[in-house]
Amino acid sequence: MLMKRALDPSRMHPKRHANLPRVSKVKETPTVKTRRRRAPVIIRDMSIDDLSEVFHLGESLFTSAFSPNLYRTWDEYEVTGLYENDSELCLVAEVDEKIVGFMMGTTVEKHGTAWKYGYVVWMGVKEEHQGLGTATKLYREIENRMRDRGTRMIIADTDESNEAAVGFFQKLGFAKAGSHIWLSKNVSYRRRRKNAANQ
Ligand SMILES: CC(C)(COP(=O)(O)OP(=O)(O)OC[C@H]1O[C@@H](n2cnc3c(N)ncnc32)[C@H](O)[C@@H]1OP(=O)(O)O)[C@@H](O)C(=O)NCCC(=O)NCCS
């Protein structure tokens, strides 16, 4: 504090001030604002006409290179099944009337208990729209809808290596409950041998 005051030029004697090295004023170049205004994101109910677009968006995200498990389990029946089961928990994010993201969930009731769970099953945001808060907006809406129905806990699962999804859920207050292990067994080999023997 003392040092700061001693060095304050306004408190110095004018002559002493004059001895200070002159700092030439650098002319500031005005910064040109190039940031493009983004169209607002609208969160709305998924409609039956959206099902194919959502399926294809998922297909572009859940590739075998990105995640073999998501790739294997994502198909058109996931979309139609969840939509048929509970369309109110199937949401899309739209920009300029184009779907840029989706979130689909369901609720699970445990018979004989007062517990009702919400389950966020699938979510995805177009790569070029990621990191802009789209999934957060989708999540806030789905959580509100789940809460309105008396959901007491919301669960979600994803690959441990999916940093974006894990980071996303943690940011929204989900605690890491433990590792989820995916097991797979290739059973096509035996069938191929059987087919070969029958030929
Ligand atoms: C996971 C996903 C849906 C997040 O969508 P998004 O719209 O980019 O997410 P948001 O912009 O709302 O991000 C909210 C928070 O999530 C976390 N997050 C998002 N992307 C992240 C990343 N790549 N790495 C780490 N954390 C990330 C951050 O904490 C972020 O908050 P911040 O922006 O203040 O840092 C998106 O990355 C995606 O579609 N991934 C591919 C599909 C997928 O893996 N789905 C999950 C399995 S079903």
In sequence order, the β-bridge partners of residue 101 are: 93, 125
127 C-alpha to ligand 1 centroid (Å) = 10
129 C-alpha to ligand 1 centroid (Å) = 10
pLDDT band (50, 70, 90) for residue 185: confident
Residues with CB under 6 A from ligand 1: 61, 70, 122-125, 130-136, 158, 162-165, 167-168, 171
Segment 1-9 mean pLDDT: 36
Between 196 and 30, the more confident residue is 196
The residue whose CB lies within 8 Å of the most ligand 1 atoms, and thus the one to mutate among 59, 63, 78, 130, is 130
* Helix (H/G/I), strand (E/B), else coil: 64: coil
Segment 79-103 mean pLDDT: 98
Q: Which domains does the chain have, with CATH numbers?
A: 42-189 (3.40.630.30)
d(CA 21, CA 119): 67
d(CA 100, CA 105): 17
d(CA 192, CA 30): 70
pTM: 0.80
Q: Whose CA is nearest to atom 15 of ligand 1?
A: 168
The residue whose CB lies within 8 Å of the most ligand 1 atoms, and thus the one to mutate among 138, 143, 168, 176, is 168
Q: E strands of the chain, at which residues?
A: 42-45, 90-95, 98-109, 116-125, 153-156
pLDDT at 34 over 80: no
Among residues of the chain, what percentage have pLDDT more than 90?
63
**Residue 171 CA, closest ligand 1 atom number:** 29
